[in-house]
C-alpha cells in the first residue's frame, strides 16, 4: 500500500484533504489551479446509448471530489465526444491533451477508440481509464498508464461460455460484429466453450451498421443450435431481432450486456426483446459504493440506475480512484501517480467505499483499499481487473440480474 515516505502531508483547514508540501519531487506544489481531467465518451455513434449516462457518472464523481479536492485543487472536467469512431476519438483526444492539458482521460468505452488514443496518451504521460474489452489493450506498452475498469474481453468470452453451460446449452452459434472487441470476446467464448465439451455449430462475422441482417439471421436460426450467442452493439442486435421476428421460432438468443438496453426496447418493442439473455460484468451490488452511486445518480437524473448499466459504475470508479491516487501521491502525473492508483485500489489497507471515506483515511496517514461500485478493483500487473459477472434476462420490459457468479478460470 501507499506510504508517503518522500513527501510530508498536512490536513488542510478548509477541508479534510492531504496537501502537498512545496518542493517534493513530482508534486503539484502549492498551486491552486484546477486539475484538468477529460471524459472521452461515445455521445454519438454506435455507443451513444451509453455515453450520456457515463457522462453523468463522471459528473457525480467530480461533484463529490470537488467538495474535498486533491491538494485543494478542484477537478475541471472537459467532456469530448469520440463519436464511437477512432478517427474522431483521436482528434478529440489531441485537444484534451494538447489544449486542455488533462492529467487523465476517463470514461472511455470503445475498444477501437482506446487503441487509437492510447499511444498519444502514453507518450504524454496521461492516465487512461477505459472500459474497453479488446485483448490488444492488455498488450500495450503503456508504462502503467492504461487502466481497465471493466474486465478484458477474453474474460467476458469465458464468462459467456460459463453462463451458456450453466443454462444447459451444449450447441451454439457464435456471431460477432467485425471489430476488435467483438472478435476478442467471441474468440474467447469459442475456445472456452469447446474446451469444456460445447459445440459451435456455425460461426458468423458481420459488418457493423447495416439496416438488415436477413441472411446472417436465417443462417443462425437454421443451424438449430441451443442458443445464438451474439456479440455486437445495440443497432445490429435490433436489426437482427426484427429480422428474426419473421421466423416461426427464433430460438434462444444471448448477447453482451451493452447491446441489451432501453434503446433495444425502443427499436424492437418489449415483446420482441422479451426473454433475451445477456452476460456482462456484475457491479458490486452488495457494496457501499454501489448504493452511494445509484442514489446519487437517481437524485441527479430522476431515473433508476440499473445494475445492467455496468459502464456507468466503471466510469465513476475511474474518477474516484484517480482523485484518491492524486491525494496519496500529492501529484497529478508521472510514475508516482500510477503507483498510487494501484495502491489505493488494492492490498491490505483500510477498506473504504466512498471518496469521502478515502480522503479521511488518507488524511490520518492510513493505507486504503477502495472498494468500488463496479468491483473491488484488484488490478493485475497489466492494469486489468476481474470482476464478478452476471447473467441477465429481459423480463416484462426490464433487464433483471438473474444471478451473479465468479469466473472460474
Residues of the chain scoring pLDDT < 50: 1-30
How many domains are there within the chain? 2
Q: Could you list the residue range(s) of the whole structural domain that residue 174 is in?
A: 154-279+390-405
Q: What is the rounded CA–CA span in Å between residue 43 and residue 172?
A: 34
Is there a domain that residue 3 lies in? no
Is there a domain that residue 210 lies in? yes
Distances (CA, A) of 78 to 94, 106, 155, 409: 13, 10, 31, 39
What CATH number does residue 125 fall under? 3.40.50.2300
Mind listing the pLDDT tens digit for each residue in 54-89?
Answer: 999 999 999 999 999 999 999 999 999 999 999 999
Question: Can you read off the three cell numbers belonging to residue 28?
Answer: 503539484
> Cβ distance 187 to 205 under 8 Å?
no
> Cβ distance 308 to 399 under 8 Å?
yes
Contacts of 258 (CB under 8 A, 6+ apart): 47, 50, 233, 234, 280, 310, 311
- Mark whether 320 and 261 lie in a shared domain: no
Q: pLDDT value at position 113?
A: 96
Mind listing the pLDDT tens digit for each residue in 289-307?
Answer: 999 999 999 999 999 888 8
Mind listing the pLDDT tens digit for each residue in 4-42?
Answer: 333 333 233 233 333 332 223 334 444 689 999 999 999
- Mark whether 64 and 212 lie in a shared domain: no
- Mark whether 252 and 366 lie in a shared domain: no
- Mark whether 209 and 262 lie in a shared domain: yes
Is there a domain that residue 272 lies in? yes
Q: What is the rounded CA–CA span in Å between residue 390 and residue 212?
A: 29
- Mark whether 192 and 213 lie in a shared domain: yes
Is there a domain that residue 383 lies in? no
Instruction: Work out the mean pLDDT of the chain and round it to a whole number.
Output: 89
Q: pLDDT value at position 198?
A: 98
Q: pLDDT value at position 61?
A: 98
CA-CA-CA-CA dihedral for 258, 129, 342, 294, to nearest 10:
-50
Q: pLDDT value at position 20?
A: 31
**Strand 277-281 to 127-130 pairing:** unpaired
- Mark whether 17 and 115 lie in a shared domain: yes
pTM over 0.75: yes
Amino acid at each position: 500500500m501507499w506510504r508517503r515516505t518522500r513527501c510530508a502531508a498536512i490536513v488542510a483547514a478548509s477541508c479534510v484533504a492531504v496537501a502537498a508540501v512545496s518542493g517534493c519531487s513530482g508534486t503539484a506544489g502549492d498551486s491552486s489551479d484546477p486539475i484538468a481531467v477529460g471524459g472521452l465518451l461515445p455521445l454519438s455513434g454506435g455507443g451513444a446509448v451509453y455515453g450520456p449516462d457515463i457522462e453523468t457518472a463522471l459528473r457525480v464523481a467530480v461533484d463529490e471530489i470537488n467538495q474535498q479536492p486533491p491538494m485543494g485543487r478542484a477537478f475541471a472536467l472537459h467532456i469530448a465526444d469520440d463519436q464511437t469512431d477512432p478517427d474522431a476519438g483521436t482528434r478529440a483526444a489531441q485537444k484534451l491533451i494538447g489544449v486542455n492539458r488533462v492529467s487523465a482521460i476517463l470514461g472511455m468505452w470503445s475498444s477501437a477508440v482506446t487503441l487509437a488514443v492510447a499511444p498519444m496518451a502514453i507518450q504524454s504521460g496521461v492516465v487512461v481509464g477505459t472500459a474497453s474489452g479488446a485483448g490488444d489493450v492488455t498488450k500495450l506498452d503503456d508504462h502503467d498508464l492504461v487502466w481497465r475498469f471493466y474486465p478484458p474481453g477474453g474474460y467476458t468470452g469465458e464468462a459467456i461460455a460459463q453462463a451458456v453451460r450453466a443454462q444447459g446449452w451444449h450447441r451454439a452459434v457464435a456471431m460477432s460484429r467485425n471489430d476488435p472487441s467483438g472478435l476478442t470476446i467471441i474468440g474467447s467464448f469459442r475456445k472456452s466453450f469447446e474446451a469444456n465439451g460445447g459445440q459451435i455449430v456455425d460461426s458468423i462475422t458481420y459488418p457493423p451498421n447495416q439496416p438488415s441482417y436477413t441472411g446472417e439471421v436465417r443462417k443462425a436460426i437454421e443451424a438449430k443450435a441451443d442458443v445464438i450467442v451474439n456479440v455486437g452493439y445495440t443497432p445490429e442486435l435490433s436489426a437482427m431481432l426484427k429480422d428474426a421476428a419473421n421466423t416461426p421460432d427464433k430460438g434462444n438468443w444471448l448477447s453482451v450486456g451493452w447491446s441489451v438496453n432501453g434503446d433495444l426496447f425502443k427499436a424492437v418493442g418489449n415483446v420482441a426483446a422479451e426473454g433475451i439473455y445477456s452476460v456482462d460484468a456484475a457491479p458490486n451490488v452488495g457494496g457501499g459504493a454501489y448504493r452511494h452511486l445509484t442514489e446519487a445518480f437517481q437524485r441527479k437524473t430522476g431515473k433508476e440506475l440499473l445494475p445492467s448499466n455496468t459502464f456507468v459504475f466503471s466510469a465513476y470508479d475511474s474518477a474516484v480512484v484517480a482523485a484518491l491516487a492524486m491525494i496519496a501521491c500529492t501529484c497529478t502525473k508521472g510514475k508516482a501517480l500510477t503507483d498510487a492508483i494501484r495502491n489505493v485500489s488494492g492490498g491490505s489497507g483500510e477498506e473504504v467505499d466512498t471518496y469521502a471515506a478515502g480522503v479521511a483515511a488518507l488524511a490520518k496517514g492510513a493505507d486504503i483499499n477502495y472498494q468500488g461500485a463496479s468491483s473491488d478493483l484488484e488490478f493485475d500487473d497489466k492494469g486489468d481487473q476481474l470482476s464478478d459477472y452476471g447473467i441477465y434476462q429481459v423480463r416484462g420490459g426490464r433487464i433483471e440480474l438473474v444471478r451473479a457468479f465468479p469466473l472460474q478460470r
